[in-house]
Structure 1
Amino acid sequence: MTDHARAYEPLTVERLGTLLAGADEARRWRLVAEFLEEYRWEQAATRGSLLAIEPQPVGDVRWDVFLAALAEHVSARDGRGAPAWVETRSLRRFWFPFNSRAARVDAIVHAPAAFRRRGVFVAVQELNVA
């Protein structure tokens, strides 16, 4: 291994938060998609470690709450409890990241519970293709 090569390390939610800070919306969604793809490929036994460390604020409270909902959502999908840090994050006003009329209706109907209870309305299929 050369000095320039590094071993692969999957994206953690902590690192995702760091990358989201200062990124534009399009880049943020690409980073979320990258996180979800890497998470999917990790062994179930190691996935929890990708969520364990609380991300620092990204500069937009909506995205801070999104990260908590994301961590809870993928934990629940794996049949595991969410990391404790997610409990402190929720919005006072609803947020519809995809804000067309059709997307809003779809999100109200199909938002996963972890997102809905925090006030983030994003349909599960948006997460699958984020």
Structure 2
Amino acid sequence: MISPAVPSALFRTDVQREVLRELVRSAAGTRTAADLARALGRPESTVTREVARLAADGMVRTVAHGRRRLLSPDYTNPFMRAVRTAFQELDTIAAERGRGVRWWSAAPEIAARTGALVRAGEDDRALRVLLDGVNQVPLVAALDGLDDMLAEPGSTGDERWDALLAGAVRYRCRLVGRAAPGWTRRDPLPTWWWPGGRGARAAFAVQRTPPELARLGIWFDARNFGTA
């Protein structure tokens, strides 16, 4: 995930950033370079040159519609997908700053809900609750709420799930460049654990597990954080 705090680092120029933000916010195939220039208050020639570069880079598609050339972001391009994610996160942060409502779960709440589901034998739901909660770390960090979010939790009632929560928090904190709280430092589990199961994907999980979890003897494909 790209840090929403530094989206300008993604872009070649300010014009590129402004053009892409307008395109991400617009319906596909509804804007021309001239439309963008008017919306941005930029010279049409400057915007047209930037659009041509973006098209050459495979980030923007152009389609002739009469005498107009309509533009659409090309989300098959991985950089364009990253740009869309960065802008969506920025919009979310801007909206949440004004709400004054805590929409995220703190670590003690994540642990309590996870533990209740584990005790009920609902491990799949427990895993989703844990990942959904931890996945909010980047946005909460951008809103300066991470200290409150990562208060020390009680036990889930199962040392494996306690370790998974701790390792997942450390992993997410590393990705946003923040120090993980002290309670996340734990000894490895006495036996290895595959939260996603021991089927055909177990070998891939070993290869793709973040180091924060591998150190604990937990083998869990990092891609699972993106599909929670």
**TM-score with structure 1 setting the length:** 0.83
Q: CA deviation at 1:96?
A: 0.4
**Correspondence 1:64 to 2:158:** no
Kindly indicate whether structure 1 or structure 2 has the higher relative contact order, using CA contacts under 8 Å at least 6 residues apart.
1
- Unmatched tracts of structure 1, length 5 or more: 1-6
Residue in structure 2 matching 1:14, options 108, 115, 130 = 108
Query: Counterpart in 1 of 2:215?
Result: 117
Q: 2:133, 2:192 → 1: CA distance?
A: 24
Shift of 1:74: 0.7
Structure 1 segment 22-37 matched on structure 2, within 5 A:
22-23=116-117, 24-37=122-135
Instruction: Select which of 104, 115, 118 maps to 2:202.
Output: 104
Q: For the residues of structure 2 that align with 1:73 and 1:115, how far apart are their CA atoms?
A: 8
What's the TM-score once normalised by structure 2's chain length? 0.50
* Cα distance, 1:64–1:33 mapped onto 2, change above 3 Å: closer
- Asked if 1:86 is matched to 2:184, the reply is yes
How far the C-alpha of 1:21 sits from its partner, in A, is: 1.5
Residues 8, 44 of structure 1: alpha-carbon distance in 2 compared, 3 angstrom cutoff:
closer
Deviations 1:27-50 (A, max 9, x none): 212212421443343342525322
Deviation track 1:75-128 (CA, whole Å, cap 9, x = no partner) reads: 100112211111134311110011233221111100001000011110001122
User: Which one has the largest radius of gyration?
Assistant: 2
Aligned-pair identity (%):
22
Partner SS, residue 11 of structure 1: coil
Instruction: Point out where structure 2 has 5 or more consecutive residues left out of the alignment.
Output: 1-100
Check the 8 A contact 1:72/1:82 in 2, yes or no: yes
The count of corresponding residues between Structure 1 and Structure 2 is 124
Shift of 1:16: 0.2
CA deviations 1:34-76 (Å, max 9, x no partner) are 214433433425253222x221111111000001101101110
Q: For residue 4 of structure 1, what is the aligned residue in structure 2?
A: none
RMSD: 2.0
Determine if contact 2:107/2:152 at 8 Å carries over to the other structure.
yes
Deviates more, 1:114-123 or 1:94-103: 94-103
Q: Distance in 1 between the 2:133 and 2:212 partners? A: 17
Give the corresponding residue for 1:75: 173
Q: Which has the higher strand share?
A: 2
**In 2, Cα distance between equivalents of 1:72 and 1:115:** 9
